[in-house]
Amino acid sequence: MSEQAKVWTAALAVIGDEILSGRTQDRNVAQVATWLNEQGIRLAEVRIVPDDSGRIAETVNELRARHDYLFTTGGIGPTHDDITVDAIAAAFGVRVVVHPEARAVLEEYYRDRPGGLNEARLRMARVPEGAELIFNPSTAAPGVKIGNVYILAGVPNIAASMLQALAGRLAGGRPMVSVTVGARAAESEVAQLLRETEEAHPGVAIGSYPFFKDGGYGANFVIRSEDGNLARVTGEDLAERLRAAGYEPVEGGI
Amino acid sequence: MSEQAKVWTAALAVIGDEILSGRTQDRNVAQVATWLNEQGIRLAEVRIVPDDSGRIAETVNELRARHDYLFTTGGIGPTHDDITVDAIAAAFGVRVVVHPEARAVLEEYYRDRPGGLNEARLRMARVPEGAELIFNPSTAAPGVKIGNVYILAGVPNIAASMLQALAGRLAGGRPMVSVTVGARAAESEVAQLLRETEEAHPGVAIGSYPFFKDGGYGANFVIRSEDGNLARVTGEDLAERLRAAGYEPVEGGI
């Protein structure tokens, strides 16, 4: 068994009435989760909160204390409903200031565009005092880092671009490795076998994800561990046990 | 202006390592949100938590105290990682029992199926003591209601079927009405106009959702209120203000 190393954890706060109203399908949870796995950081919890300063500040303070990192998405655009920066400044008990570098980038970007750098656009240069910027190639408006809090855009491809700018720059542990084995088995037929496999390999978690596809039932079994070798060995063991029980295991899943 | 009526709120706890690992794209937040709007109940917050009994119980106790309703999705299948019922029983401080009606339904369902009602499948008849069942036409395994907590399946179409069984049966207020007006305007050009429109109509919230489509920028502005007439009047006012500023408003959005 491997030595117990520190498990690095992060939380994500998704900010936006449009997610809670059902109008917009969130895409950031899956994308931040996948990116964090690559950094060796585990997404430990997510909260989706409305565009309400008090609720945002409360959530930010609770989550940044509890985890190594907190990411937020949403609410950093130019309109009146973009209140994330103000709410997070309040959470840290600091003022909101215009960041000179952010202002310079926006001035450059809007120099030849209709309307120029108006008051609304200048909002996107506002940061909690003491914050750093997260530059990204896809838009002029940067993300913001203060303490262990990373403030990202809500539009998924802009958030992706900010994550890319941060890749490899956060301390983390080993990436989580997952091995998937599929079988044309109703999960309720192999539940005991799964439980035994998990118990035989301390340090792995096995998830069972049933599906109905091409006219038949089946399930994918996902073995996750920070110990890649352990995950692989467990996958082979599970495949063997499935075969012994009369099911054809499919490496990589169905 | 309308009288201030009670605002009914709900929280949603999404339970599952597969969402937090990024493996599975959640679909339940949007579907529960939309359904709640129809019932006149506002989805006020969402938490996504791992398959961890302690974390589930803590989350359930916090959220059920804070809102009129709590919904959970995920973790009620037949396998070892399905621990929602046990965790919620612990949250309520009650035992887990086999519900006789749920057992009868499962017995009937599995009578002629291979394997019959085995131990794993019988897990799906387990409920916190004192709970009621939420029957649904799409599978034999029912959802569970205890106190103000509604325990639904994680598979989106099964969750949908359980929501359908509950439709019209929960006390709520007036459904939230939303009116959308789109324009080929960069949101940073109309930010001031939006703010003024919102301020002119107390009781509405206006969200601004930018897009880039067919080679041009634009935004949809979503006006939300429990007062349908107020939402419509505000939409007309916003359309007029947009037109006066040189933009062509598009009713229903772009």
End-to-end CA distance of chain B: give it in Å, rounded: 29
For residue A103, give both structure tokens: 């202002």
Stated as kind and residue range, the H or E segment containing B124 is none
CB contact set of B146 (below 8 Å; sequence gap of 6+)? B88, B92, B94, B127, B128, B130, B131, B132
Which residue in A20, A124, A187 has the most chain B C-beta atoms within 10 A of its own C-beta, making it the best mutation to test that interface? A20
Residue B81 to residue A123, Cβ atoms within 8 A: no
Q: What string of pLDDT tens digits covers the 254 residues of chain A?
A: 445 678 999 999 999 999 999 999 999 999 999 999 999 999 999 999 999 999 999 999 999 999 999 999 999 999 999 999 999 999 999 999 999 999 999 999 999 888 889 999 999 999 999 999 999 877 788 999 999 999 999 999 999 999 999 999 999 998 889 999 999 998 889 999 999 999 999 999 999 998 888 888 899 999 999 899 999 999 999 999 999 999 999 999 99
Q: Are B144 and B73 in contact (CB under 8 A)?
A: no
Structure tokens at A99: 């960041």
| A25 CB within 8 Å of a chain B CB | yes
Q: Which of A54, A55, A151, A142 is nearest to A98 (CA)?
A: A142
CB contact under 8 A, A26 and B29: yes
Per the CB < 8 Å rule, is A22 touching B44?
no
Q: Other CB atoms closer than 10 Å to residue A66's CB: what's the count?
A: 12
Which residues on chain B are in Cβ contact (under 8 Å) with A43?
20-22
Question: DSSP letter string over A40-98?
Answer: TEEEEEEEEE-S-HHHHHHHHHHHHHHSSEEEEES--SSSTT--HHHHHHHHHT--EEE
Distance CA B150, CA B163 (A): 10
Assess A22–B contact: CB distance below 8 Å, yes or no.
yes
pLDDT score recorded for residue A1: 43
pLDDT for the residue numbered B1: 43
d(CA A228, CA A206): 14
Give me the pLDDT at residue A3, please.
53
d(CA A174, CA A161): 23
- Residue among A240, A66, A123 at smallest CA distance from B195: A123
**Residue with the two structure tokens 């096995």:** A206
Alpha carbons B50 and B152: distance in angstroms, whole number: 16
Interatomic CA distance for residues B139 and B135, integer angstroms: 9
Q: Are A19 and A48 in contact (CB under 8 A)?
A: yes
Is B18 buried (19+), middle (13-18) or exposed (0-12) by CB count in 10 A? buried
What letter would DSSP give residue B111? Answer: T
pLDDT tens digits along B81-99: 999 999 999 999 999 999 9
Chain B residue numbers with beta carbons less than 8 Å from the beta carbon of A224 are 17, 21
Q: Do residue A48 and residue B34 have CB atoms under 8 angstroms apart?
A: no
Interface of A with B in 65-104 (CB under 8 A): 77-81
- The 10 Å Cβ neighbour count of residue B111 is 9
Helix or strand (DSSP H, E) at A140: none
Q: And the tokens for A80?
A: 């009146």
What is the model's pTM? 0.91
Any residues with CB less than 8 A from the CB of B143 and at least 6 apart, and which? B76, B133, B134, B136, B150, B151, B152, B153, B162, B165
Q: Per residue in B122-163, pLDDT tens?
A: 999 999 999 999 998 777 889 999 999 999 999 999 999 999
Query: Min CA distance, A198 vs chain B (Å)?
Result: 9
Q: How far is A122 from chain B (nearest CA, A)?
A: 9
As given in the structure block, the two tokens for residue A141 are 């408006």
Instruction: Tell me the average pLDDT of chain B.
Output: 94
CA-to-CA distance for A174 and B118, rounded, in angstroms?
Answer: 39
Q: How many angstroms away from the CA of A12 is the closest CA of chain B?
A: 10
Binding-face residues of B in 121-180 toward A, CB within 8 A: 121, 123-124, 155, 176, 178
Of A42, A123, A207, the CB nearest to B18: A207
The partner residue sitting opposite B47, judged by closest CB among A27, A46, A119, is A46
d(C-alpha A15, C-alpha A84), whole Å: 8
Cβ–Cβ below 8 Å for A224 and B78: no
Residue closest to B206 by CA, chosen among B192, B186, B217: B192
Contacts of B145 (CB under 8 A, 6+ apart): B131, B132, B133, B134, B151
Enumerate residues 6+ apart whose C-beta is below 8 A from A65: none
